[in-house]
A and B are shown apart, each in its own frame.
Chain A
Amino acid sequence: MNAKNAHASSFRDPSGYIFVEDGKINRVINPIYFEQYKALRDSGFYQNLIKNDLLIAHKEISSSEDNVVIQAEKIPFITYPYEWSFNMYKEAALLILRLQKYSLEHGFSLKDATAFNIAFHKSKAIFIDTLSFDFYEEDSPWRAYKQFIMHFFGPLVLAHYHGAQQLKLLSNFIDGIPVKMISSMLPLKTKLSPLLYSNIHLLAKLEDKHNEDYKGEAKAGKLTKKGQLNIIESLYGYIKKLELKEASEWGNYYDKINYSDEAFVEKSRIINDWVNTLQPKSLIDIGGNDGTFVRKLEQSVETALVCDIDNNAIDFNHKTMKLAKEDYMLPFVLDVLNPSAAIGLNNTERDSFLDRVKAFAPDITLALAVIHHMSLSGNVPFDRSAEFFATFSEHLIIEFPKREDSWVKRLLKNKMDFKDHFGFYNLVEFKNSYQKYFNILEEEVVADSERILFLMEVKQ
């Protein structure tokens, strides 16, 4: 446990810990977990999950009496549960249930079910905690059941009834949302559902009732494997059918805005010209909606992060990406005015968005149709948004809609009496502010629109 150089998030499980060396992700396995590790390795259990892209690949790099060290495949950019869209969250929850069913069928069981054990890699949810599997003890209940409810089932059901914003709760409850809280937030009618009543309300009742009983005289009940499989399968069936009730903030965005077909094609051509010249390996599209413009790129990139504030746009992108089997795109939900903070013990357990994106250092940042929202809806001065965009990429492609643009007009109109305070929103002020942080390399008007595209390079 007092491991040297252990990763800040790797301290809960005594089975081992992660350390990063020369950019490589290594996992030390302690003797306490040797028996499980060898059984999982020698039975082909690990290998089959890796082959199916369900468990992150690893190779053993050393083995001694004191420890075994394995090296895991590196995931370019880690997203956290509070950055997943509803369907991404669903995919992660279903993966846990699939893994537990498979484990049970092979004599193992997941000993924990935290949402932080899942990452998205090559368009799929993947399990990243290689040491989470333990031996299944005959007729024992699932130890991680409550954690599954707190990390997955609860947030998903809350999102179903109250909207996708509920999924962000996990950033405040790193160990899962308290069951009592989930129960109290659900509508009364959920008590009439046998599945919701038993998995949430009854569980909350028991937890609440015995919260202060620490004599520990009771023994864990017995549960047959068939019984446990029933729980898993019923939760799987319920979650798979779960849907959101809300409409999208940006749904059909491209139909609603004032782009003519010509402007749309022209915008795409300009971006492609610039991107082809720069030949990036990675990029981030901030406010990237459903990934439309990233898909229009001729230059292929290894990793493209596409983030947006709107859950439904990310969900749509997630579905498109899966159906098209695109493995380079990583969509996630991000509020650019309040990006995910660093949380957990010492504020180092889960990194902030800014720290992660700085480490990832995408070659290009795309900020298309986003500056007017930051400036006019978020009241962010140009200086401050320029400072933000200058922190993680060498190049920035940014779109500036002029005051004559219909969307800008709408946003200004919404300001009513306060409208006069937004006189700063003009091309001259924009360029002056951005030139403090960037050199403007290219500037091109998008024909048949009131928008201008800029290619900028960060000042050294």
Chain B
Amino acid sequence: MYFTFSFLFSYIYKKSNMTLLYFDPGLGAMIIQTIIAAVAGVILFSKNLMHKIKVFLGIGKPIEDDVFDDIDIKDSDKENN
């Protein structure tokens, strides 16, 4: 699967390279985000799918003792209002 990914990226990159010949290096990072977002979408989708399958089969890993918070920040103001 990874080989397919690498091939796909190189292909998209070469295609985009033709149309976007000149741009500021900073712009490069801005443009590439569309591709990265698509990849991220696939990664998140497959991760969620795997998680659901594991939960279904009852082989999900137990939650480890973690010192890092969840990505979501509690919106305490809204809750209080």
Contacts and interface: CB of A to CB of B under 8 A. Distances in A.
Interface of A: 44, 47-49, 51-52, 54, 87, 90-91, 94, 97-99, 101-102, 141-143, 145-146, 149, 191-195, 197-199, 202-203, 205-207, 209-211, 213-224, 227-228, 230-237, 240, 318-319, 322-323
Given A48-B77, A207-B29, A228-B33, A202 B9 contact: yes
A48 B73 contact: yes
A145 B25 CA distance: 13
A211 B29 CA distance: 12
Most B-side CB within 10 Å, residue of A48, A191, A193, A215: A48
B42 interface: yes
A220 B36 CA distance: 14
Contact of B28 (A52, A210, A235, A319): A210
A99 B71 CA distance: 9
Contacts of B28: 203, 206-207, 209-210
Query: Majority SS of interface residues in chain A?
Result: helix
A98 B73 contact: yes
A205 to B, nearest CB: 7
A217 B33 contact: no
Interface residues of B, number: 44
Contact of B73 (A44, A49, A224): A49
A81 B5 CA distance: 33
B30 A197 contact: no
Given A99-B73, A235-B40, 4 more contacts: A49-B73, A102-B73, A231-B33, A236-B71
Contacts of B2: 192-194
A402 to B, nearest CB: 39
Nearest to A90: B68
Contacts of A197: 5-6, 9
B65 A211 contact: no
B73 A218 contact: no
A233 B39 CA distance: 12
A213 B23 contact: yes
B30 A220 contact: yes
A221 B47 CA distance: 27
Contact of B33 (A44, A214, A227, A318): A227
